Amino acid sequence: MQNTINEMLDKKVWAVVGATKNEAKFAYKIYKKLLSKGYTVYPVNPVYDEIEGNICYGSLEELPEKPDCINVVVSPKRAIKPIEDAYKLGIEYIWFQPGAFDDETIKLANEKNLKSVYHKCVLVELG
């Protein structure tokens, strides 16, 4: 899995599925950390129109460009659609934050031949 982590961290365009305005939540911290490290990051959450002054998109399909990676920070049952969308859009990499995956989501990501990371936090990996 470390090779996949390294590959993903080398990619520069990310989407954070489940991004939020709530500064106490990991989805917010992940969004901000990726931005601070120089990544292009698109927040994806149908609840918000914007986060930190940036347009927040309702789905991966609405993004202005295809991200290299998606970081999933939603419950496993809500992670199914981003997995399906990633496959449909040709997004190769998907990172499931702790709590955002279960056996079903990992199985589906594998069936779709997505390169995935789970049991690891992107905040920790970015340092």
Beta strands in 32-92 (DSSP E): 40-44, 50-51, 54-55, 69-72
pLDDT in tens, 31-57: 999 999 999 999 999 999 999 999 999
Domains parsed from the chain with CATH numbers: 2-118 (3.40.50.720)
Alpha-carbon gap, residue 4 to 27, rounded angstroms: 21
pLDDT in tens, 75-118: 999 999 999 999 999 999 999 999 999 999 999 999 999 999 99
pLDDT in tens, 96-107: 999 999 999 999
- Chain centroid to CA 22: how far? 17
Band the pLDDT of 3: cuts 50, 70, 90: very high
Beta strand 69-72 pairing with 54-55? unpaired
pLDDT of 1 strictly over 90: no
What is the overall mean pLDDT for the chain? 96
Mean pLDDT across 3-15:
96
The pLDDT, as a whole number, for residue 127 is: 87
Say which DSSP state 97 is in. Answer: P
Q: What is the pTM of this model?
A: 0.96
